[in-house]
Structure 1
Amino acid sequence: MRHEDMLTARSLVKSYGGVRALDGADIRLRGGEVHALVGENGAGKSTLVRILSGTLAADEGSVRLADRAREGGIAVVSQELSLFPDLTVRENLFPHRPPRRFGLLDRGAMDRAARPVLAELGLDVAPGALLGELPLADQQLTEVARALLRRPRVLVLDEPTSALPAAAVNRLEQVLRTLTGRGIAVLYVTHFLEEVMRFAHRVTVLRDGRVTLAGVRGEEIGVPDLVKAMLGAAPPPPVRRERAPDDGPPPVVLSEVCVPGRLTDVTFTVRAGEVVGVAGLQGAGHLDALAVVCGRTAISAGRVGVGDRGLPRSLRDAIRAGVAFVPSDRKRFGLMTDRTVWENTTAVSWLALGRGGVIPSRAELVRRTADLTGRLRLRGGPHDVVAQLSGGNQQKVVFAKWLATDPRIVVLDDPTRGVDVGVRAEMHAIVGELAAGGAAVLVASTDLAELTEVCDRVLVFVRGRITAEVSGGRLTEHGLAAAMQSGADARSDGSGGPGTPEIAGDPGS
């Protein structure tokens, strides 16, 4: 029956150590409706989904399924596909207890059960096709089909469009209509607020584990209301130091750059003395743009200029062009944790650039390390093993390694991830010093506040394109969130360049 309550959760509490991931959260899902669940990273969405699906127990509170919902239960389609690319569509649809005849797999029975569901989803694929050979959108719909074969009354779609092109999103809209037409209650977890406005009958917003909007009808709210519910009242814009970028040839130039399935006609420049941020939701393409600059991703069209060279063909090529790259995962990609501080700090300048000769003086390398670590106020000596340092000091070692190369272009991916407030402030000061010294700085961060604090302007990516350039008084967390999550396409005659609409400073400024 449509609009019957299928699932009701009340006063859910869940703590991890001393941190409350959920703090009295409520939600009610009704048959025949799409109920969107939104919130920033860390708001508690994943914890709530795991409790609703029964894979995690709440510390307090209750979850009640209606009698009709108990018959089919809850199915979850996760953002990370749990499929097997080397198996057929048929085998992926029936991973547990498939139909058998005389002890053998009954492929005929499997196909007869699967075909109506595949047709209902508009998925025109042969059951015997290898899953890994299908487009990503078809793989995602295969996972939805597998869930529907269980005949659930409640279906959770967790970030179903994070890696899908626009055409596949249009297709998903038809799928949602089909599901709700069958009386299924759909919980739609997403970061894309334009999808919330387009698909959802009701919306619940989480912030810091608490519900700030509870089951509000979609037509009663707009994107600004959702952003405010997610982030709270807008704080005053941060005070920024004025920087005057060099008016010479920019060290970083991307013109109409394309990477199949990732970037489309991306155009921007970064001048010496400028800090430019790139922002976007998962799969938006902003990190792919950084990878192009660092020589880690090839392009199919467009023009790239890095330093005095064209497109770097490898990270080593980019380093020789003056690029420094500080990765988000310092332990996997930024450090040799079993080696000393001086060995880490001098690795790139010596091994990649050959500074210090074929057999450099160890005393000289240690002296250079001491100079750099002193400048960064690192708590630890050149001979200390990196694994023994705190996370913040390990991050300083990564910075020191790249500062030792005297870079012209600095690319930072989540530069303060996992460090405390004090180290964060020190890292931000270093970014400012690099720009003041004439470096061109590109920054990506999952922390919107960080982008507003260190950047002169931020390029917002949505589905592989730059859709906005946020700067001046509008460079706030709220401004960025609205541009990222609604696919803002405000246009002006700013200096963002072709294909770069601008959300400029305060009106009249």
Structure 2
Amino acid sequence: MTTASRMSQTIAPVVASIKGCTRRYPGVLALDNATFDVAPGEVRALLGKNGAGKSTLIRMLTGAEIPDSGTVLIDGVELTQTGSGRAQESFERGVRVVYQELSLVPGMTLAENLFLGRWPRKGGVIQYAMMETEATEAMARLGLDLPPDRLVAGLSPAEQQLLEIARAMLGKPRLVILDEPTSSLAAAEADKVMAAVKRVAAQGIAVIYVSHRMNEIRQIAHSATIMRDGRIIDTVDVKGADTREIVRLMLGSEASQAAVLEDRSCPEIVLEVRELALAPKLSSISFSLRKGEVLGIAGLLGSGRTELLQSIIGVRRFDKGDVLADGQSVKFAGYKEMVRRGFGYTPESRKEEGIVPLLGVDENTLATNFPGVSRNGILSARRMAQATRGIIDRLHIKTARTDTPIGTLSGGNQQKVVIGRWVYAGSRILLLDEPTRGVDVEAKAQIYAIIRQLASEGRSIIFVSSEIEELPLVCDRVLVLRDGAMQEEFKSPNIDQDTLMAACITGH
């Protein structure tokens, strides 16, 4: 008998259950015969790497997804509706979810935000007094003492997150699901959210807490369910669970894989970061990057990886510290100056920040240096096609024409174009933020090969990824960013996945 089955027998009654649920998408088995339940007053942590099936399981409970097989029950009653009616059915039975992305309107009051989309009316008139009374009561249940007529724009990040949770407390919730609620918060603010979670559970409400931060999970969770490849692997008692064992369950057989890369970088330092700080995420960051090196930055969601790259490239102005390129300080140089010095940056959000979907592959590729394909100040179609074809051939981008709208390409080919933009520009230091997010396995392998080839040519690369398992496959060295500083260093060929993951999720 598994730990999960033992616990399900000892904890009763059950607020929500998933029994033998399977959900398939084209080419993907998102949930594989999953069985899961949670009891009143229990805080259940839900763990698993990206793509493990956590989001699909949550969407089953909220009614946003219908299983291909299996049943979903709330208080022992099966969800039977289809379409939007299923989500309403789940909501009416007390299931609430607070997603990682905040959905507040800054220009509205706390009360207006809590009742957003369902403001109480009488005779067509909004009942503000009723809203403010109920908003005050909902916030008080979390220990949040704020005037309901205050604007959300004046709240701290922690207060905004607490307001999202307070919205879930309206009515009579039976189950509250929190998706990475502290990912964007500093440690002190995260403590306020965890205190609120304890209050929620103390009221007999079941809580599902999605996070990778073991220090938080050990403070508030009674048990942890680990998912991998769409399957529920086990449910363990948090107090008695060893972090490395949890990592092994999350990674499975992949945990034994190790990097076999040969570090061919040279001793020359091309980039140095000294005691860089950017509140509230980064407190003191120091490291160096060598010529021809692929340096990985590992860390949990919200650890400050993106903010670090943006500080280096000049998109963000950091609070203190220094950045040196080739031994010269470029503190506060700005984005244009850093690009002029040979830096390139691919953003985490490819679709929103990395490409212009309606423009061609050629325009997206050549955007860093249009003068190079111009004649007398006018873009030359022949030169554009020739330059773009060179990048397409080099990076093996699949497109019928050089002027094909980039939005019609697959995610992997779009990402190759984003990287190719800086290859075309001749950039020698590349800052890559989640360069394989949203691409298939084949495209990932191709991007790894591209990065290794660029490094062999003498380019230096910082590779940021939340997918721990890919870092040993492409990086010469990996630094772990945690609690605002670089905590540990791993060097190829001795980069072990389970040790790396454990270093990321270990608390203070």
User: What TM-score range do you get, normalising by the shorter chain?
Assistant: 0.7 to 0.9
In the TM superposition, what is the alpha-carbon distance from 1:268 to its structure 2 partner? Answer: 1.5
Structure 2 CA distance for aligned equivalents of residues 222 and 261 of structure 1: 30
For 1:78, the aligned partner's letter is Y
Closer, same or farther in 2 for the Cα pair 1:157/1:426, shift >3 Å?
closer
Give the residue type in structure 1 aligned to 2:260: V
Cα offset for 1:88? Answer: 0.9
2:485 to 450, 462, 465: 465
Decide which of 148, 153, 156 is 1:127's aligned counterpart: 148
- 1:125 and 1:253 map into 2 onto residues whose CA distance is 44
> Which of 233, 243, 255 is residue 212 of structure 1 equivalent to?
233
Is 1:279 matched up with 2:298?
A: yes
- The answer for the alignment partner of 1:302 in structure 2 is 321
Q: Which residue of 1 aligns with 2:444?
A: 424
Indicate yes or no: 2:62 matched with 1:43. no
Out of 198, 219, 239, which is 1:177 matched to?
Answer: 198
2:25 to 16, 24, 38: 16
Deviations for 1:303-347, whole angstroms, at most 9, x for unmatched residues? 112344513543322110111223445455444555555554443
Q: Given the superposition, is the C-alpha separation of residues 252 and 116 from structure 1 closer, same or farther in structure 2, using an over 3 Å criterion?
A: same
Give 3-state SS (helix, strand or coil) of 2:158's partner: helix
Pick one of 462, 469, 493 that aligns with 1:449: 469
Q: C-alpha distance in 2, partners of 1:95/1:417? A: 32
Is the alpha carbon distance of 1:436 and 1:19 closer, same or farther for their aligned partners in structure 2, counting shifts above 3 Å? closer
Q: Residue type matched to 2:247 in 1? A: V
| Superposition pairs of residues 2-151 of structure 1, within 5 angstroms | 4-66=13-75, 73-95=94-116, 98=119, 104-151=125-172
**Contact kept in structure 2, 1:306 and 1:312, CA below 8 Å:** no
Structure 1 residue 238 and structure 2 residue 259: aligned? yes
- TM-score (norm: length of structure 1): 0.85
Equivalent position SS for 2:162 = helix
Q: Give the 3 Å change call, closer, same or farther, for CA 50–371 of structure 1 in structure 2.
A: closer
Q: Distance in 1 between matches of 2:390 and 2:126?
A: 69
| Amino acid in structure 1 at the alignment position of 2:339 | I
Q: Output the CA distance in 2 between the equivalents of 1:38 and 1:58.
A: 21
Residue identity in the other structure for 2:74: L
Shift of 1:229: 1.2
1:432 partner letter: R
Opposite residue 7 of structure 1, the aligned amino acid is: A
Alignment-mate amino acid for residue 287 of structure 1:
T
Q: Deviations over 1:114-135 (max 9, x none)?
A: 4344233221211111112111
Residue identity matched to 1:6: V
- The DSSP-based 3-state class of the residue aligned with 2:18 is strand
Taking the aligned partners of 1:136 and 1:471, their CA distance within structure 2 comes to 36
Is contact 2:283–2:484 with CA below 8 Å preserved after alignment? yes
Looking at structure 2, the residues matched to 25 and 413 of structure 1 have their Cα atoms a distance apart, in angstroms, of 33
CA separation in 1, counterparts of 2:386 and 2:117?
62
**Other structure's SS at 2:103 match:** coil
Show the 5 A alignment for 1:189-208: 189-208=210-229
CA contact (8 A) 1:293 1:306 kept: no
Write the distance in 1 (CA, Å) between the matches of 2:349 and 2:166.
35
Question: Taking structure 1 as reference, are residues 357 and 63 closer, same or farther at Cα in structure 2, changes over 3 Å only?
Answer: same
Give 3-state SS (helix, strand or coil) of 1:56's partner. Answer: coil
Structure 1 range deviating more: 114-123 or 100-109: 100-109
For the 8 Å contact 2:301–2:466, the answer to whether it is kept is: no
Tell me the amino acid that sits aligned with residue 58 of structure 1: P
Shift of 1:168: 2.3
The letter of the residue matching 2:210 is V
Give the CA deviation at 1:178. 2.1
Seen in structure 2, the aligned counterparts of structure 1 residues 56 and 160 have a Cα distance that, compared at 3 Å, is same
- 2:500 aligns with 480
Output the CA distance in 2 between the equivalents of 1:211 and 1:182.
28
Q: Equivalents in 2 of 1:358, 1:104: separation in Å? A: 60
CA distance change for structure 1 residues 419 and 49 in 2, over 3 Å: closer, same or farther?
A: closer
| Cα RMSD after superposing both structures | 3.1
Select the residue among 234, 243, 257 that pairs with 1:223: 243
Could you tell me whether the CA contact under 8 Å between 2:259 and 2:494 is conserved in 1?
Answer: no
Aligned partner of 2:168: which letter? A
Q: In structure 2, do the counterparts of structure 1 residues 239 and 45 end up closer, same or farther at CA, with 3 Å as the change threshold?
A: same
Contact 1:342 1:382 in 2 (8 A): no
The residue number in structure 2 matching 1:158 is 179
Whole-angstrom CA distance in 1 between matches of 2:426 and 2:345: 12
Count of residue pairs brought into register by the alignment: 483
Letter in 2 for 1:37: L
Look up the SS of the partner of 2:256 in the other structure. Answer: coil
CA contact (8 A) 1:246 1:438 kept: no
Q: Would the alpha carbon gap of residues 334 and 89 (structure 1) be closer, same or farther in structure 2, given more than 3 Å must change?
A: closer
Name the CA distance, whole Å, in 1 between partners of 2:186 and 2:59.
27
Q: Counterparts in 2 of 1:316-465, with a 5 A limit?
A: 316-335=336-355, 341-351=361-371, 367-378=386-397, 383-387=402-406, 391-465=411-485
